[in-house]
A and B are shown apart, each in its own frame.
Chain A
Amino acid sequence: MRRGAAVALESCLRRCVFAFLIAACANVDVTATADDVTRKQTETLVRQLGSDSFRTRENAEDELLKLGLLSKAALFAGMNSQDNETALRCRRIWSVIRIDAGLQQGWEQLREIIGDAPESREFFDQMFQAAPEYWCGFVESPKEAQTLFEERRKELQEQLRKGKGGNWEAGLANLLHAGVRAKTEAPQEELPRVDELLCLGRSQLALESREPLRRLLKEWKSRTNADGPPFDRLLLALRERQPQAADIARELLRDSKTPAKQRQYALLTLTNTDNAEDDKLIDLALEDSSSLDMLFSNGILITSQLRDVALAVKIHRKGLNPADFGFNSLRPDDLTTYSLPSLGFSDSTARNEAFENWSAFNSQPQPQKSN
């Protein structure tokens, strides 16, 4: 972005958030301290804000602005002054300082993640404009990042529910940023998932068109990939065709407490892996007759058990078609290779026949792989 445009945008940002911040300033906790010299200097300057001389007042204001965050304590004290002029000027000065500081500190943080290309800076400005209180909060009364993350999440959900305007992509980016901060502060703390917000059409559109948002998402994912129950992570990984799906599937299959209905997903995740260890995990399921689901298809009822799924996976891993072994209701599926309830049989005879076909096949030496 050209310098002129950046200045104009910054000026615009200041105007947009000014009113909000003036009001917010009145009730802010003061926690920061300055050294004594600075404290005395800033207190003097604040007193000068109530001077009878206009020039003195103006000069004091300029000085306080230059001192920036160092003036914070004095300004907050001045906000409670009996002199209206002093209180008003303190609020105004602090609002400018916090915007400057918020923008500066925020950008310093964010550029580490999204880079400092002009497009990234422009995107940050949008993020700031969408939630100035979030960014300014860092310089004023920092809350726990996890709390900020929750606030951002609720705000975005509210925006969605009420269909109210707002910059969705900037709001989403702020949420992800808050999440990244929360994980930085407490990596061991699990965060609620935001998949439902990410899979919306508007989010997908934003991700398609905004490189900085994609980078934020990548960062978010790298920090939260172990959050949540493994089954939820597996479903997400399957939907997003992530390679780590196989690892999660193995984790699920190794855990003896994993329910059969979750195991079936894990088994199908291993349909195309090339890992001898996986065969052992699948073989274990070949003995498991836990009921899974029933498919009603054109008047015929198909029941599926975990061993049926395991058998279909075994057959597929050999490069063969399960339908050739007796899976007569087989349906393809985008996510799981085969539609889960279609991996079943109309009766036990049909099931036994399929298993016998598999045994017969295995008893043959070196079967030819087919496409």
Chain B
Amino acid sequence: MSVSRFVGRAASHGRLLVLLVAVRLGVPSNLYAICGLDGAVQEQLQSVDDPQALRALTLKIRLHGTCSACHIARYGGPRNEFGSAVNTLLTVGDRENRVVQRDAGRRITDLLADPSRPDSPTFGELFRLGRFPANSLQNAEPPLPQAQPRTPENITPEQAKELVNKIEAESRFGILQLSRTEELTPETASALAEFRGEMLILGIRSITPETAEALAMSQAETLWLHSLTSLSPDVAESLAKLRGHLVLTGLTQLDSVSLAEKLTRRPGALSFPYLKSLTPEIATALAKSERSLTLAGLTEITPEVQDRLAQTFGTLSLPNLRSLDSLLLAQKLAAVTVLLPKLEKLTAEQVQQFIGFKGQSSFWGGVALPLDAITPETAKAMTATSLKGISLTLVGNKLGSNEILETLLDSSLKITLQDVEELSPDQIRIAFEALNGTSRTGPLDVPRLSLPSLQRLDSAILAEALGGSTGFNFPGVTSISPEAAAALGALPEKEYIGPLGQKIMGPSGSLSFPSLRELSPEIARLMLRKRWGSISLPALQDVSLETIRLLAKQTPRLTLGISGLPPEFAGAFADAPTEWTFGNGTIAFPYVTELAPEAARILVESLNLNRGVGFIGGNVRVSQSPRLIFGGEQGRTASGFPTLSPELAKELSKYEGSLEIQGLGELPDESAAALASFPGPYLVLSGPFSEKLSPAAAESLSKTPGVLQLSLRRLDSVPLAQRFAQQINWTLYDVETVSAAAAPVLSKYKQFFNLRALTVLDSPELARRFVEGNTTGNSITLPALTTLSPEAAQILGAGSKSLYLGLTVLDSPETALALTKSRSKVALPRLRAITPQVNVILQEAPSIEVPPLESLYLLTERRLNP
């Protein structure tokens, strides 16, 4: 996806604003992909059962963001092997369609991480080992492990026919996937070729000319052969004749020009992560790709090939290129994101081209180059740019000379020394002098110097310099020296204006050590001589009671990675600050998956002490007790209590502050009943439990006096709907379907009505609520909608609001006719199939924005109801 295109579209739908506001509010935005397409990764996380593996993965996400699971560089641009696979199944249009994203996540599980290796593990197996499926600049995984031998799932022609019939019966745009099938006979291939759905995905690792001939007759819109690494000329010629689109992401070798041309004709980004070489002719063919072209497998290419690739129509990425001789290619590669971290040599001229490209100073821009190749001359060339604030990532751990560092830090570049694990005393001094007095203003402010791989924070000078520059975020640090801790603890607090207008000193800075596993009392004592705005220690495993007491006392917002909370430790949070002047307090235990009722009782009693629930405006509940969070990183992952026992629920339900239980596996009825009396301002529950919430549990939850937030996809409880109708609608953010009984009740909701994830709208009441009540802007935006009943369409069409609907199939003439009645704009940008009669209706309704009608698939006729 083109970043600028995404930004434009996201901005037009208000999504970008939400993301940026989330970032500003301190929601750890790196947990979510900015493109909104991380549903596939989240689905993989849900399938990881081993708590240690899940913890390792969630810590990686906290460190590097979900973006680096798919992208080679952090915020987008070219994708790695896994990202290329995800991108074959998803488009930017799916960013608000969690159903499609989850489906893609499940399908990718069985794809080989490296098809060129006979013993390659699958992406799913890698996730289950607690590692990312592919590398990025930020996250380098160890070499791929050897997979256990697996038995291929070969099928007969009859089984293939049955499968084709079954999937076609389920959907007009079905996907038939046989990723574990490593061989196909021509007969089976012929049977599969009959499939007329959206995509035929086959995991065959070799192919005969006869099978290729058979597959070339495929009726599917796209044929994806993900594990083929090379093709004979005959096979290539046959596949090039395919009617639909062809995807061959596993190729290590590509010799057929006609096949290359065929591959470029598929809309969407073109990526060959494993392709090792390229002839000038193939380069010319691939250069015709109208979208982005990523050739991550190429390391050495001839000057002629370089010149040919320089002619690429769309964006070009060669992230593993080692030598760059062509000036034309250098010009081509100077784009919003320059990704050439493996180059062995760099000239000053090339550097000036890369750094001087004007888009690079944007939030999305950036340059990644090899540190080893930087000389004093190239460093000077980098700093010559007039553009301010360009992000420069230097990959490698050899910092050539102090002069280079001095030159770079003397510029306005935002430098990341990606792999540098330590600095010499002289380099520390240079960094201090360059950074002295700089301070990071917020999460969107890129630090002037980042050292994400720094492991030992062992110098007071470094701690102060780097702390100010990075906003006290030390991603790779695993040990802290007393000198560094003392320097951090000696920094000043911040001046606040108190409730009576008086000046008071309070916490300052957000201290974050996402890789720190141990924190000794001595280091804690030194570092915590001042109060911190927040302290985040999500990897912490070893900690003493005294240290926890001190941590809790010295910050209003604390995140602790401990795996459990023994009763002996539960009372350690009693001195947590409660001054509202410093903002609302939070105590988060993202990895506590077991909690004894006794520990819960002590914790709750200690935090309830001398506080209590108050009211603003008569009914809005407020509490000075900190927000208490258990489990799952912001509710997106599976980690959390496997179940909430009634005994535990009973204790937690006495808490007077807001309570979040994320990643909850199950919620028994009795536990839900206990939570009904929870008095705090907010009760937030998320996790797999919401998929199996019983009517009784739902009814109990609906009785909680404070605001109730549930991550529900299906709203079929009338009491819950009644409840949600009376409170803020963040609760409805994930709702995909609303039952016929719940819809009229939910329709009573008075405030802004936003159900962006809604997939089915067949309730007239709900449709009327969209039309007559407050919505976001003067429009109704339902980007994930797949089903719209004629009656609901009639109500929407009769209203005055513009409509943005994600429908892919429109087979009801009644629905189409109803939409033509709209006096405002109707946009159906994702429409893919219509009936001939709908076609006629749409031809006469130019106000309805749809893709070109001739590009839509024509379905079998349906009769218009009288």
Contact = CB atoms under 8 A, between A and B. Distances in A.
Contacts of B545: 293-296, 341
B487 A293 contact: no
Interface string A287-305: 0000001111111010000
A23 B529 CA distance: 40
Contacts of B464: 200-202
Contacts of A333: 520, 522
A335 B566 contact: no
B427 interface: no
A199 interface: yes
Interface stretch (A11-19, A104-112, A131-139, A155-163): A155-163
A160 B508 CA distance: 13
A199 B490 contact: yes
Interface in A298-357: 298-299, 301, 331, 333-336, 339-341
B491 interface: yes
A67 interface: no
B287 to A, nearest CB: 52
Which of A165, A200, A293 has most B Cβ within 10 Å?
A: A200
Contact of A298 (B482, B491, B522, B541): B541
B176 to A, nearest CB: 46
Contacts of B463: 201
A119 B521 CA distance: 41
Interface residues of B, number: 42
B436 interface: yes
A281 to B, nearest CB: 22
Nearest to B521: A340
A25 interface: no
B482 A201 contact: no
Contacts of A239: 482-483, 486, 526
A208 B459 CA distance: 12
Q: Is the interface of A mostly helix, strand, loop or mixed?
A: mixed
A316 B464 CA distance: 36
A296 B522 contact: no
A228 B406 CA distance: 42
A205 interface: yes
A204 B489 contact: no
A234 to B, nearest CB: 12
A163 B437 contact: yes
A339 B520 contact: yes
Contacts, number: 105
B286 to A, nearest CB: 51
A196 interface: yes
Nearest to B481: A334
Interface in B518-572: 518, 520-522, 526, 529, 541-547, 562-564, 566, 568-569
A96 interface: no
A202 B562 contact: no
B742 to A, nearest CB: 42
A22 interface: no
Contacts of B462: 201
A340 B495 CA distance: 35
Interface string B175-213: 000000000000000000000000000000000000000
Contacts of B546: 293, 341
Nearest to B480: A334
A88 interface: no
A113 interface: no
B263 to A, nearest CB: 50
Nearest to A199: B486
A197 interface: yes
B492 A161 contact: yes
A293 B522 CA distance: 13
A200 B463 CA distance: 9
A204 B568 contact: no
Contact of A293 (B460, B526, B544, B566): B544
Which of A203, A295, A336, A340 has most B Cβ within 10 Å?
A: A295
Contacts of A341: 520-521, 544-547
Which of B429, B495, B542, B562 has most A Cβ within 10 Å?
A: B542
A201 B460 CA distance: 4
Contact of B562 (A195, A293, A296, A340): A296
Interface string B470-504: 00000000000111001101111101000000000
Contacts of B436: 202
Given A160-B492, A295-B542, A204 B461 contact: yes
Interface residues of A, number: 33
A199 B432 CA distance: 15
Interface in A160-174: 160-161, 163, 165
A157 B461 contact: no
Contact of A196 (B459, B490, B522): B490
A301 B568 contact: yes
A334 B481 CA distance: 8
A335 B482 CA distance: 8
B541 A297 contact: yes
B539 to A, nearest CB: 13
B521 A294 contact: no
Contact of B483 (A196, A204, A298, A299): A204
B460 A334 contact: no
Which of B461, B566, B568, B569 has most A Cβ within 10 Å?
A: B461
Interface in B621-668: none
B439 interface: yes
A154 B491 CA distance: 14
Contacts of A295: 542-545
Interface in A167-204: 195-197, 199-204
A301 B487 CA distance: 31
Contact of B563 (A299, A334, A339): A299
B465 interface: yes
Contacts of A293: 521, 544-546
Contacts of A163: 437, 439
A331 to B, nearest CB: 7
A328 to B, nearest CB: 13
A339 B518 CA distance: 11
A363 B418 CA distance: 57
A200 B482 contact: no
Contact of B461 (A197, A201, A339): A201
Nearest to B518: A331
Contacts of A165: 437
Nearest to A202: B464
Interface string A199-225: 111111100100000000000000000
A308 B258 CA distance: 78
A204 B462 CA distance: 10
A200 B488 CA distance: 7
Given A199-B486, A202-B436, A335-B522, A296 B543 contact: yes
Interface in A33-63: none
A205 B432 contact: yes
A160 B437 CA distance: 10
Nearest to B437: A163
Interface string A254-289: 000000000000000000000000000000000000
Contacts of A208: 429
A294 B544 contact: yes
Nearest to A302: B544
Contacts of A195: 486, 490
Interface string B426-464: 000100100011010000000000000000000111111
Given A163-B437, A205-B461, A239-B486, A296 B569 contact: yes
21 contacts: A157-B492, A161-B493, A196-B490, A196-B529, A199-B483, A201-B459, A201-B460, A205-B429, A239-B482, A239-B483, A294-B544, A296-B543, A296-B544, A296-B545, A296-B566, A298-B541, A299-B564, A331-B518, A334-B482, A340-B522, A341-B545
Top 9 A-B pairs, shortest CB-CB distance: A201-B464, A341-B544, A161-B492, A199-B486, A201-B461, A196-B490, A294-B545, A204-B460, A201-B460
Interface of A: 157, 160-161, 163, 165, 195-197, 199-205, 208, 239, 293-299, 301, 331, 333-336, 339-341
